[in-house]
Amino acid sequence: MRLIALALPLSLLAAGCAFHSTATQWNGCVGPDGEPVFVKNSTSVGFNLFILLKIVGGTNTPGLIDEVTKEIAGESGDHVRMVESSTENYWYGFPPFTWILTPVISTVTAEYRPSEAELARARGEAPAE
């Protein structure tokens, strides 16, 4: 029984993770400058100890913005616009347990102009060489 009591918190500590998605299909609609845009969303889940002390997961907004823009730059995208960012600390979820081990979820959403190759892949075309 003690082993289970130790294993559960340790498995939660190892659970810090991130989820990424990119919206590429806009039915022919374009962004404000008349160019096609993609939207990239990055969500990070982590845990704090005693509500404030970060122990697992990169849930700070500057870190997520760095990660998202690094991905966009790696795909040769440009003209990035941050659309939304949020961080939610779920200390109130299941007190008193979440006062000790607090789940934190952060999200950053960026709109960007894709490279020609990335745009061709999204359309299912072979990229022009």
Give the percent of the chain with pLDDT over 70. 84
pLDDT band for position 104 (cuts 50, 70, 90): very high
35 belongs to a structural domain = yes
Mean pLDDT score across all residues of the chain: 84
Q: How many folded domains does the chain comprise?
A: 1
10 belongs to a structural domain = yes
114 belongs to a structural domain = yes
74 belongs to a structural domain = yes
The domain containing residue 45 runs over which residues? 2-123
99 belongs to a structural domain = yes
pLDDT at 99 over 80: yes
pLDDT at 15 over 70: no
Q: DSSP string of 48-82?
A: EETTTEEEES---HHHHHHHHHHHHHHTT-EEEEE
128 belongs to a structural domain = no
What global pTM score does this model have?
Answer: 0.76
Q: What number is the average pLDDT over the span 22-28?
A: 85
